[in-house]
Amino acid sequence: MSLSPLLLRSFVYAAFGLAGTFNILNTPAAWAHDPNSPLPTYTEYFRPDALTTDPKLVHCTLSDGSNVDCVQLTLKIEPADMRIGPWCPRNTSDTADRAGKWIYEGDLVDLDGEFITSLDKLYGDSDWKLYSEETGDIHVTETLEGCMAAARPDVDETYQNYCVECALADIDQSLEFTFVIPVKPIPSKKSPTHSDHDVAGISFNGTRLEGPAPVDAILAAHTIAAFDDCGGHVNPHVGYHLHAVVDDCLASMPADVTDHSDVIGVAMDGYMIHARADDEGMVPEDLDMCGGHETPSLGYHYHAGAPGSNAILGCHMGATGCQLGEDGQCLKEGPDGGVLGRLMNYIHH
């Protein structure tokens, strides 16, 4: 009897009690790549419970029209082994340990009660009022109806001046998301590609690494789409996803050299994504506009953007794969077809 790679690795995890992160593994031999496999090495880095099925080889059409071999990966709405939540504080007396994070002036800051009561001053707008002055209770979307009405570009007036929070338990647990990524990265012949609200890549525990959150639209409705401490939140149409990469939140595989940061996932163009800094806290000084650079041992790869930058990747240097729709074709990219566009189609249909 032969076992699938994902099932085989689940036995390895169980046998050695490896329920935590990949970076506790110190021997590359534990992850030796089968030289006869047509799949890239990184497919063996995914946690056994990160994907619904084994990665498989398919043909796909990239963003530049190239027809190439791709890896097909199918994710769940909830990633494996991830610290999820909390998001919105419930009262203005709540401290940082009872709340998540938000982006403010390039930093990922604590979304505690004090921050909530200071929104009018922080943003210079007296219309901000997410709480009751009598009780200190904060207005939070507590239901799926509230989430659906607030977590969209045209926020329902009822839910303006709300902290927006969506619960995974309220979402269809059978939802799956299938992506295709080129087996071998193909440098783009055009300028680096970047589309707001599209997926930047996928982490090895099955987390969607999204493009920038639409902060301007969120703030314009006097809402806060709270992140948790790992920089993620839930969208009713795509499940849990990250808009930031925070230290110690993502399982990783050690890089092939000891003086470089851990590998945390793969970008939609097939290049590897590394943690922003190495174990000494050092960030490479030669990163390009996309957040990537090239080293002799690793070739070209990316480093995740600073947590408060609202950009896990600045752009893609290679031709990108895509998320597949129910018809097996690429979903439209960009603001009209990205996460928000797909959500609006979902709401109105």
Residues 6+ apart with CB under 8 A from 309: 106, 244
What is d(CA 76, CA 261) in angstroms, rounded to the nearest whole number?
27
pLDDT for 237 equals 86
Comparison of pLDDT for 7 and 206, the residue scoring more: 206
pLDDT for 17 equals 33
The total of structural domains in the chain comes to 1
Round the average pLDDT of the chain to a whole number and report it: 84
pLDDT for 317 equals 95
Place of tokens 């525990």: 205
- Which of 17-21, 47-51, 257-261, 285-289 has the lowest average pLDDT? 17-21
What is d(CA 73, CA 53) in angstroms, rounded to the nearest whole number?
8
Could you give the C-alpha distances from 285 to 254, 272, 282, 312, in angstroms and in order? 21, 18, 9, 17
Question: Omega of the bond prior to 86 within 30 degrees of 0, cis?
Answer: yes
Minimal CA–CA distance to 243: which of 332, 121, 338, 323?
A: 338
pLDDT for 58 equals 96
Minimal CA–CA distance to 180: which of 65, 58, 80?
A: 58
Comparison of pLDDT for 284 and 341, the residue scoring more: 284
pLDDT for 73 equals 97
- Which of 73-77, 315-319, 325-329, 345-349 has the lowest average pLDDT? 345-349
pLDDT for 35 equals 66
Minimal CA–CA distance to 131: which of 215, 224, 217, 236?
A: 224
Residues of the chain with pLDDT > 90: what percent? 67
pLDDT for 336 equals 36
Minimal CA–CA distance to 95: which of 119, 115, 118?
A: 115
Helix (H), strand (E) counts: the chain: 6, 16
Token code pair at residue 195: 């589309």
Asked if pLDDT for residue 49 goes beyond 50, the answer is yes
Q: Which domain holds residue 263?
A: 1-349
In this prediction, residues 254-275 reach a mean pLDDT of 84
pLDDT for 331 equals 86
pLDDT for 256 equals 57
Asked if pLDDT for residue 108 goes beyond 90, the answer is yes
> Dihedral, CA atoms, 222, 226, 232, 233, nearest 10 degrees?
-80
pLDDT for 248 equals 85
DSSP label at 115? H
Residues of the chain with pLDDT > 70: what percent? 81
Asked if pLDDT for residue 30 goes beyond 90, the answer is no
Minimal CA–CA distance to 288: which of 180, 195, 196, 187?
A: 187
pLDDT for 253 equals 66
pLDDT for 335 equals 38
pLDDT for 151 equals 87
- Which of 85-89, 106-110, 229-233, 252-256 has the lowest average pLDDT? 252-256
Residue 29's pLDDT band (boundaries 50, 70, 90)? very low
What is d(CA 100, CA 88) in angstroms, rounded to the nearest whole number?
6
Token code pair at residue 271: 């290049």
pLDDT per residue as tens digits for the range 338-349: 444 344 333 333
Residues 6+ apart with CB under 8 A from 76: 51, 52, 175, 176, 177, 206, 239
What is d(CA 143, CA 264) in angstroms, rounded to the nearest whole number?
33
Minimal CA–CA distance to 207: which of 79, 71, 296?
A: 79
Place of tokens 């922003």: 276
- Which of 171-175, 193-197, 213-217 has the lowest average pLDDT? 193-197
